[in-house]
Amino acid sequence: MAHSDVTIDGSPDSDYLQMALARGGITAPINKFGMEQLTGGRTGAQVDKLSTEVDSYILKRVPYDNWQQTAMGAPGEGPLWISGALDDQVLPTPLQCPAIDVAFHDSSQSWWILMRDVGAGIPERNKFGEEETRKLWSAVARLHAHYWGRSDELAELPLAEIRKTTDVFAEPVYGAIDGLIREPWVEDVIRDFMPLRVLLPAFLELLPSSDGDFYLQMVKDRSWHRGLEDATPTFIHGDLRRANVSFMDDKTILFDWEFAAQGPAACDLQWNSFLTYWAYTPGDGIEPWDRDHLRDCYLSELETALGHAIDRIEFQKTWDLAWLRIMSQLGFCFADINRDNVDELAAANRRIQVAVQNCRRILGG
């Protein structure tokens, strides 16, 4: 992948693609070119599929100045790619990232990130189960081990702080519920992030009034965040959902690193676990609270990669705090159901009840 801070201009046409591939060390004459905008994702960036007669690529255009960067106080995904931290030679096997070239587009003031098209390896919706989780968590364990406790090395990377990546979701949730906008960028998130606008009101309707009051107080509270900041840090991806993971040729390929941060490893795991088994489900008949064996597999992989045991008491503490974090950030995803389906509604209510009970247990009441 090209690492130099390249500035470009023009359109995403065949000339751009050929030059970008060349910067990435790929020689590919282009006699046929096509472009298709991809929609349906939850990223604020414009994403296009660029096709030639023999291959296809993904172009992600990320504005230089956006609410994510403002909220997180980090330079964003473009500089992270350029830093070299996501190179195949740097990432531990079997992790890979699909970036070929990153350049700054002057007239649009945006980062253009050209990637290999790895869509064929993305698991289908409701097809991401325990086998995929083990594969993903095993690969991520090696990433976490590589940076485990290396605060000085992490500080040199363009990564956000865990507190900031928590606030970027939790603060808009609080603002949308309470009506109090404590940061200027919050209004942009509430306006632009469709799932929050649509699902949060429905989620609050599913909560009993006492749980609703508790949930708002938990999101508002910042005292428990300190435990995440003080925990052993590592390099976390920050958005380990199904659509950002591709399994191809024995490789685990991760993309969309805009929420990458330095923070406790449990935040990556709880994010993936919540979206895979709590808010959504693979339909295998196993309840999300009966999947602790997945965490045990991860810890075994992590300690093998580290070559020593970790402080399991500290990990359990961060595991609990990461649960509060994901509930504060994305708890509203519980409402992404067909409420006219009696069985689906009952299952969601059962999971919500256990989820809130977990939060109350962790906070001591």
| Secondary structure (DSSP) of 248-274 | ETTEEEE---TT-EEE-THHHHHHHHI
**Per-position pLDDT tens, the chain of length 365:** 555 679 999 999 999 999 999 999 999 889 999 999 998 655 568 999 999 999 999 999 999 888 888 999 999 899 999 999 999 999 999 999 999 999 999 999 999 999 999 999 999 988 899 999 999 999 999 999 999 999 999 999 999 999 999 999 999 999 999 888 989 999 989 888 889 999 999 999 999 999 999 999 999 998 999 999 999 999 999 999 999 999 999 999 999 999 999 999 999 999 999 999 999 999 899 999 999 999 999 999 999 999 999 999 999 999 999 999 999 999 999 999 999 999 999 999 999 999 999 999 999 96
Q: Is 358 exposed, middle or buried (0-12, 13-18, 19+ CB in 10 A)?
A: middle
Token pair belonging to 142: 């090696």
Domain with CATH 3.30.200 in the chain: 6-117
Residue ranges of the alpha helices (H) in 207-241? 209-220, 225-230
For domain 6-117, which architecture applies?
Answer: 2-Layer Sandwich (3.30)
Q: How many other β-carbons are positioned within 10 Å of the β-carbon of residue 107?
A: 9
Nearest to 365 by CA among 227, 210, 230: 210
Alpha-carbon gap, residue 228 to 163, rounded angstroms: 8
The CATH code of domain 123-363 reads 3.90.1200
Domain with CATH 3.90.1200 in the chain: 123-363
Opening angle at CA 261, ends 256 and 262, nearest 5: 150
